[in-house]
Amino acid sequence: MEQSKQVIGIKEYVAIILLMISTKLTDDTPTILFEYINNAGWMAPIINGIIAILPIYLLIKVVTNYQDKNLAEVSDHLFGKVFSFIILLPTLGIAFVAITIDTAIYTDIIGTMYFTKTPTIIIYGILMLVCAYGATRGFEQIGSVAWTVFPYLQFSLFFSLILTIGQGNTAFLFPIMGDGTWEVLKESSLRLSIYADFLYLFLFFPYIKSAKVFKKGTWLALLFITINISVSMICYVVLFDYKTIMQLNYPYHEVIRTISLGFMVNMEAFFLPFWLIASFVRFSIYLYINAILFGHLFKIKHFEYLIPSLATLIVIIGMIPESPTFTIFNIRDKLFLIATPLFFFLPCLMWLVAKLKGEFKNASNIRQK
């Protein structure tokens, strides 16, 4: 696999993670959570963030033992090439389905809420063209762009949330535990895969400045993401109540169309450009992840050349659903359920095999020498 000669620091790394995962609060992920947990849906990111500590910790323990290997290469080392291929192939499949579903959702958001007269194929094509161009620029360039735009994106998010709280009703948050503690815990844990992007981020370990930077950046990002998504979902409930949110496909975009600041209306014109930039960065990273995995599995050294073909295939498949707003909603919910065991148990399996093979002791002895 062709590796980048340059590396990125903690600022770029954290910005990439936040743009990858925090943007889920702007699509139908909150609606899915509220669908099953009612007004306590905002607690799901917190519960999942706590549960995610275990698989992330185990992955860090395993992958950081090999300074020059990414997740796929560590898998080959631990399981052997044949068994590793069996594990990584569905991992690639989930990653490809995820980007296809998510890009179709974002195309639907743009088409149904902002550019209603523009043909879907044009919107989808432009979206993937920009993302493919960003992905072909390389991981370092994506990281640089992510850090450059991140402060503006974070400011625009919190500005919209402040306006939301001022125009909402905090009584909608009660009862805090919704239908009960057990129900909230169960439904939240079943959708742990809203944080599954952390698994794929270990493909970028060799691209990060040092193991220390990687560890610190990963934990900081998990904390910030949990806060971002939970606070945003609280604001959705305060403004709309959970029953209304369950009828809305994209609550964030309804929020920015609802809020106002004095004489300033149509606030979505202010927030839309920031959201689009975040979406471009997110899907550029997703394309890069798919290219890395595909290149590793099928022995393609210059995997960057796969990106345009992958982007074209994604557009073709993503255009198939006739009613993406409803069809993809159900498919995405099932994908969360399918991906959750992979995100939780694969790190556990890797750690167990590494422990049984004495990999941690070997690494310790090498460092001492």
Going from the N-terminus, what domains does the chain have, and what CATH number goes with each? Answer: 10-338 (1.20.1740.10)
d(CA 348, CA 194): 18
* pLDDT reported for residue 3: 46
Reduced to 3 states (helix: H, G, I; strand: E, B; else coil), residue 66 is coil
* CA count, 13 A, side-chain hemisphere, 73: 19
Structural tokens at position 213: 């930077």
Of 233, 219, 221, the closest CA to residue 29 belongs to 233
The DSSP line for 101-116 is HHHHHHHHHHHHHT-T
Reduced to 3 states (helix: H, G, I; strand: E, B; else coil), residue 119 is coil
Residues facing residue 8 across a β-bridge: 208
Mean pLDDT of each 10-residue bin along the chain, 369 residues long: 68 95 92 91 95 97 91 96 96 96 93 90 96 93 92 85 78 85 92 95 94 96 96 90 86 82 68 90 96 96 93 94 76 93 96 92 55
2: left (phi over 0), alpha (psi -120 to 50) or beta: beta
d(CA 44, CA 12): 27
d(CA 223, CA 247): 29
Q: 119: cis peptide before it, omega within 30°?
A: no
pTM of the model: 0.92
**Angle at the Cα of 27 (from 26 to 33), degrees rounded to 5?**
100
What is the length of the chain? 369
Q: Which helix (H) or strand (E) holds 319?
A: none
* pLDDT reported for residue 264: 60
Residues facing residue 264 across a β-bridge: 261
| 197-228 pLDDT, tens digit each | 999 999 999 999 999 999 999 999 999 999 99
The stretches of the chain forming alpha helices (DSSP H) are 10-21, 29-37, 44-63, 71-79, 81-113, 120-136, 139-166, 181-190, 197-201, 211-240, 242-245, 251-258, 268-297, 307-318, 324-356, 359-368
* pLDDT reported for residue 263: 58
* pLDDT reported for residue 167: 76
- Say if CB 51 and CB 189 are below 8 A apart: yes
d(CA 146, CA 280): 10
- Say if CB 346 and CB 112 are below 8 A apart: no
**Angle at the Cα of 31 (from 25 to 34), degrees rounded to 5?**
110
